[in-house]
Amino acid sequence: MTNTHKFTESGLGEAPFRFVDVDEKPDGCRHCGTGIRIRFHIVSADGVRSVVGSTCIEKTGDQGLIDIAKAEKNRRAREKAQAKRHAAIDAEFQAQRDRNGGFTDWEVAEQRHVAEKTARLEALKPIIALADDLEDGRGGFRDSVASDLRNGILPTPRGIEIVIEILGAPAVAAFKAVDA
């Protein structure tokens, strides 16, 4: 006794069957007549094209078709989950833009950070101006502190004392202007 493929028994052509496509459209399974949402398109060895549902594929015992159907179902589920995650992220960003005049929370924070840094550098201009006078080109303390000053980084209290010792009155005036 030979095992006849279940799809052959229902008139869908001769085995073996191969998977050719999948789509989502309400239809009826050609094997059992049940309504299906996800259509698996198969072709028989003799060229008969048919549309069947995943449940009928699983009942055939045809491991090749079963594996493909499972993989396709899993792929579609992953894509839907990913689309749902992206939609949630997009909705959150849109809510932030609505709340922040067109900007996300991150963009607002970044703008605030840039504005604060710009204001800090503006306030430090008198000290930053000391960098040219402090720098001596030897790669030591003076050059290091000058580089830090240009980046808006103030020296430690002892470093300030040393800068004042090196530059004298202009340094005292610059540090007092920033403290004010």
Do residues 43 and 103 both lie within one domain? yes
Summarize the confidence of residues 97-109 as an average pLDDT.
97
Mean of the per-residue pLDDT values for the chain?
91
Is 115 inside any structural domain? no
Do residues 104 and 128 both lie within one domain? no
Say yes or no to pLDDT of 180 above 60. Answer: no
What pTM did the predictor assign? 0.56
User: Which string of b and e fits 50-72 if b means at least 16 CB within 10 Å?
Assistant: bbbbbebbeebebeebeebbeeb
Domain span at 168: 124-179
Do residues 61 and 145 both lie within one domain? no
Count up the domains in the chain and report the number: 2
Give the residue from 108, 141, 169 where a domain finishes: 108
Do residues 45 and 81 both lie within one domain? yes
For residue 156, the 8-state DSSP code is P
